[in-house]
Copies of this chain bind each other. A is one copy, B any other.
Amino acid sequence: MRAPSTYAVIMAGGAGTRFWPASRRARPKQLLPLAGAEPLIRQAVERVVSITGWERIYVSTGAHLVEPTLAVLPELSRDRLLVEPVARNTAACLGWAAATIARVDPNAVIMALPADPHIKNVAAFQQTLRLALRSAESGIITTVGITPTHPETGYGYIEAGDASRLDGVLQVLRFVEKPDRARAEQFLATGRYYWNSGMFFFRAADLLRAIESHLPALATGLRELDDAARRDGEAEALGRVFPTLPAVSIDHGVMEHVKELAVVPGDFGWSDIGSWLAASELGHKDERGNSAPAATVLLDAHDNYVVDLRAQSPEPGAQPGAPQGGAGERHRKRVIALVGVSGLVVVQTDDALLVLHRDHAQGVKRVVDELAARGDAELT
């Protein structure tokens, strides 16, 4: 028997106000180069393309993000985008993806991965993916649990039980909501708890069956969409049916109710980059703890994080093709200078500047709220 084909579904629907002013409604976190030179979604795709090839990568996103997503993934065929007319959380997202892929390949094995985590050790990550896929191929829905490094209270946890038949794979006992500090410390002490990474691995048919059992309303909607797609009527059906689907996470709606579930513990330098503080801790820093574009002037400055996302602007008066233009237009020089400051996050875009102390990373959401309250929606 030929091995079933592997597909990736990259979940890239996130809105995200935590990275204002870099993140906007039309430019959420996954489109930003928050750790490394490439946007997070491109890094996510490049991590799996050696396993699936481009033709078996699907990207799930919102209608307003189609063009910016294709712009950073020019290799992706437009029909590999799963464009949700409205966001209905991850159960609907992955159910629709599974149904869509099953239509072209009933034996498909799918890895569903968030577009926006940062992963330091890509080789170790890919090894974990391969193991999780093998587990999924055996008919058991599988997740990846991150080996915790500290008693984090911002993540959900997965409690693992006995080993499964596959070496390196454990049975899932239960999913646990974000704990308080004391419980998180207990979790860490047992050695049995893992961070819920939001990655899921399954045969398309297995997930659809689990949805049938645990979210029958979603299953009904997905069948309606599938029937319409087989009659070339998917576009119309999406706008009509998708908004009626239950908006529930795959974790709550399905995974917590599935009897036999597996978890592959992973340790590959994972971060969900939940705030500017988390972003500032990734990537290269100089010997004074600063992370900033090379041209930044840093005097008596340490532990700062500078992001410059301004579009290149042509130099005023520069003539395209003028002698000094060289290969193209000359660009006007710009500079950021930090003097006598520390612990700052400085984010410069074309229409906004954020100067934030890293201890106040949670305050970003309040900036977005204030701009919205003012009626400055164009800045959010």
State the A residues within 8 Å of B (CB).
21, 297, 299-300, 332-341, 344, 346, 348, 351-357, 359-360, 363-364, 366-367, 370-371, 376, 378-379
Contact = CB atoms under 8 A, between A and B. Distances in A.
Contacts of A335: 21, 351-353, 371, 376, 379
B366 A341 contact: no
Given A333-B378, A334-B351, 5 more contacts: A299-B367, A337-B354, A337-B367, A339-B355, A340-B357
Given A297-B371, A333-B376, A339 B351 contact: no
A334 B339 CA distance: 24
A43 to B, nearest CB: 27
B352 A334 contact: yes
4 closest pairs, A vs B, by CB?
A340-B360, A340-B357, A339-B363, A339-B356
A315 B238 CA distance: 34
B337 A353 contact: yes
A355 B367 contact: no
B348 A353 contact: yes
A378 to B, nearest CB: 6
A354 B360 CA distance: 21
A357 B351 CA distance: 23
Contact of A299 (B299, B332, B366): B366
Contacts of A376: 333, 335
A351 B337 contact: no
B364 A355 contact: no
A376 B338 CA distance: 17
Contacts of A370: 297, 299
A165 B357 CA distance: 60
A360 B300 contact: yes
11 contacts: A21-B335, A299-B370, A333-B351, A333-B376, A335-B353, A338-B356, A339-B363, A339-B364, A340-B357, A341-B360, A348-B353
Contact of A339 (B340, B341, B354): B354
A297 to B, nearest CB: 5
A339 B353 contact: no
Given A339-B363, A367-B337, A353 B353 contact: yes
Contacts of A334: 351-352, 379
Contacts of A340: 356-357, 359-360, 363
